[in-house]
Amino acid sequence: MENPSESALSFDLEKTSAYELLSALQMTRSTAHPSQKVDETSPYLGLKLTNARGQDFIGAGLRDIGEVTVVGSVGDFAFCSFGDGQVVIEGNAGNFFGHSIASGMLVVRGHSKHALGALGSGGLIAIYGNAQDRVAVGMQGTDIIVRGSVANYAGMGMQSGTLIIGGSAGLHLGQAMAGGTIYIRGEPESVSNDVEEQRLREPDRLKIGMLMLKSNIKSSGKEFRVFRPVREAS
């Protein structure tokens, strides 16, 4: 396989808009459609986005892009509708980070603002810091790990997927939740009537351990509490 450092592409986000980035990657890559097989020797293995200073919509619509490193922080709706790739953001993320994510993995080394992973249908999002309110709102299959704490309304309207919270949670944990699972290590300020606490079983521990391992976070998965909706969607 080709050495990633030799094939790295770099875009300066101060000079490149989100659409220009999307067009540039699609124009030069012949395998842009997600149904097609990802070529591991593609020139985007090791894509680097520099000068990220909170610009909105960075990476929105990107798919099949291999490994991406973003130097700096991203703004609102970054990596919306993302799929099939691995992104590491070395700063913070704005509102609606990973909105509608379909697959792949997004890692944020800093913190995230509102509505992290909203309406996501697949993939994995890992936040090494904290997240503001409405984490995983309306989520439909994504796995989200927040190493720190989350604010109010975490897991609001979740339909499926997994939310792992390493710290504590704010008010109304699991409001209007219809499916999926919330694992939390700390204490929520309040828990919605729509969810109930269940006993942590071995499959839960395994799942937490696997997702933590994938996200490069050390944890045994033993100290978590489990919340699931009172009535699962039929």
Partner 1 sequence: MPPNSNSDYSDPKLANRATPLRCETLLARINPLLKGRQAVPSIECRIGCAGSSSELVLAPPFFTRLVAEAGLSQQQKRLFLAELASLDLAWIGDPLDPIDAKPLEPNVENAPNRIASIHVDQPVDIDAIRNSAAIELQMFGVPFETLHNSRRSRWMPSLPIEILEFEQLAKKIEMLRSLTGKKCPIGAAMAPGAVYEDVRFLVDSGVDFITLLCQVQFGWSISNCISLAPLDSTIEQSVKAIKDSGAKTKLLVSGNLVDGQQMFRCLQLGASAVSIDAFLAQSKPKEAVPVKETFGSVLSTYAPPTFSSSYTWLLPAVLQLISELHDCALYAGNFTK
Chain positions contacting partner 1, by CB under 8 A = 17-19, 22-23, 26-27, 30-36, 56-57, 60-61, 63, 76-77, 80-81, 83, 95-96, 99-102, 115, 118-121, 134, 137-138, 140, 156-157, 233-234
β partners of residue 11: 49
Q: How far is the CB of 39 from partner 1 (least distance, A)?
A: 13
CA distance 33 to 63: 8
- Nearest C-alpha neighbor of 141 from the set 121, 111, 158, 125: 121
- Nearest C-alpha neighbor of 176 from the set 153, 191, 151, 157: 157
Q: Which is nearer to partner 1, 92 or 95 (CB)?
A: 95
Q: Which is nearer to partner 1, 136 or 226 (CB)?
A: 136
Q: Which is nearer to partner 1, 80 or 226 (CB)?
A: 80
Q: How far is the CB of 95 from partner 1 (least distance, A)?
A: 7
Q: Which is nearer to partner 1, 115 or 144 (CB)?
A: 115
Q: How far is the CB of 232 from partner 1 (least distance, A)?
A: 11
Q: Which is nearer to partner 1, 119 or 211 (CB)?
A: 119
Question: In Å, how far are 73, 144, 157 from 162, measured between CA atoms?
Answer: 25, 6, 13
Q: How far is the CB of 230 from partner 1 (least distance, A)?
A: 16
Q: How many CA atoms lie within 13 A of 8 on its CB side?
A: 13
Q: Which is nearer to partner 1, 95 or 219 (CB)?
A: 95
Q: How far is the CB of 120 from partner 1 (least distance, A)?
A: 7
- Nearest C-alpha neighbor of 86 from the set 129, 155, 128, 40: 40
CB 157 within 8 A of CB 192: no
Indicate the Cα dihedral angle 118, 124, 130, 131, nearest 10°.
Answer: 0
CA distance 7 to 5: 6
Task: For residue 30, give the amino acid letter.
Answer: S
Token couple for 47: 């894509």
Q: How far is the CB of 64 from partner 1 (least distance, A)?
A: 9
